[in-house]
Structures are given as C-alpha cells and as structure tokens.
Amino acid sequence: MNNFLAGLISWFLAPLALIKGLGVRKTTPRLPPPRGQPMGQLGNGKAEIRLLIIGDSSAAGVGADRIEDTLGPQLATILNEATGKPVSWRNAGANSAVAAQVRDHVIPNIEERDFTHVIVTIGTNDAKNYVTRSAFKKGFGGLLYAVHARWPAAKVYWSPVVAMPDVPALPASLGFILGLRAQIINATGAQLCRERNATALDPLPVGGPEGFAIDGFHANALGYKHWAQHIARFIQDEAPAPSSSQRSE
C-alpha cells in the first residue's frame, strides 16, 4: 500500500484507533525504567567504541528489570566481545517521547561530546500519536541535524518502528491501523536518513511474544538482546576491514 492511501485509511479509522487505544491504555501497566546508572563501560582503558542510545522509553530501557539487560549495555557487550576493544555506553531516553521532544529536551542535556556511535530509537510514539508526516519530518529531521551538530564525528543509526501488528498488547484492529501510521513514519525517516548522513536500519524482526515485557509493548531482556544483535550486525558490517599489515601482525 502506498503512503498516501495508508494515510487516508488511517485517518478514516482514527475514531476506532482512539477507542481501542483508550482500552489498551486502561489495561496496560505503565512500566518505569530499570534502576541503576544509565552508563557504563566494558573493558579496561579508554573506550574505543563509545555508544549513545537516545530516543524514547526503549532507549531508557523500559521493560527490562535490570539496567544491564537494556539495549545500551547489551549492544556494548556484543561489540566488546566481537572486537576486543573497550566499549562504553550511555542510555538517554524519555518515556512517551516523540522525535521533536528528544530534539528539544534530551539532546541539549547530554554533556558528553565524544561518542563514536549514536543509536536513535524513535518513531513509535510518533506513529501511535498520529504525528503527521510533515510534523515528523520537521521533528526527526531536526533531531538528525542536532545529533550531527553535537557529535560531528559519530556514526548515526536509526532503528525504525517494528511491525505494529506483531505487538502483543495491541488488538488486531489497532495493530493494523497503527501499522499504517508506522509505514509513513518509517518511509519518511528512511528518506531523511539518506539525506542527512545517517543509516536507517532494517526494522527489527519480531520473533514472537517472548521478547516483550509484561505490558506486551516494550522489550524485555530477551527482546533487547535480540535488538542489540540486530544493530550490532549493521555496525560491524560498516567497520573497515583490517589492512594486510594489521592482519600479518
């Protein structure tokens, strides 16, 4: 389905989405981020890979019981084991945030300036809140500009919205409608990444309900591990191959 038709149908079905969404909100527990310092390091010495996970509640690790099971430290563990290099990580997420809020309220409050990789997890709330394409383009496009301005040497990756019909907390009708909104968000985000020097990852495949927390919406420890493995493959694929002199050493 093309994006114009997806938008038309989703707006036509907006009253149904509102009714179903209120029902989900009433029965779904609101989970806090896990306790603990939202930063850390694996390996000794100065970190050679410095990760920033920035975005919505998933960047904060909502759904995991321990900070160690969130996306940042699990991705750091994978890259540390794969490369042997010290890896630091920093989680910076805000519950229910849309792209414009991360741009305006999260990025300006991160003091560190030396990240090598920035992972942006945003779009789910833009989709479920019916943020228009033009508003998302302004919010997410500005977010990418802000990331590059603050961390000009960092590689930037965006993790798009998962297939909403596969989210256990959503009834089939709501999953279908929000899937239409996510289609628009993902297409717009991918275009902006191409234009603004960022890498749009493939959407995370949803293997089943076992990767979700008790709210049926956020990832749990297993889900974050699956997500970290997915992102790590892209980062490792973009890493330069060692030179012949390095291989001979």
Query: Which CATH number among 2.30.30.100, 3.40.50.1360, 1.10.10.10, 3.40.50.1110 corresponds to the domain 3-238?
Result: 3.40.50.1110
Task: Say what the pLDDT of residue 239 is.
Answer: 60
**Ramachandran sector of residue 123 (left: φ over 0; alpha: ψ -120 to 50; beta: rest):** left
Instruction: Give me the sign of the Cα torsion angle 174, 178, 183, 186.
Output: negative
Domain residue limits, the chain: 3-238
Low-confidence ranges of the chain (pLDDT < 70): 239-249
| Per-residue model confidence (pLDDT) at position 17 | 96
pTM equals: 0.92
pLDDT of residue 153: 94
Q: What is the pLDDT of residue 225?
A: 97
The predicted structure's pLDDT at residue 237? 79
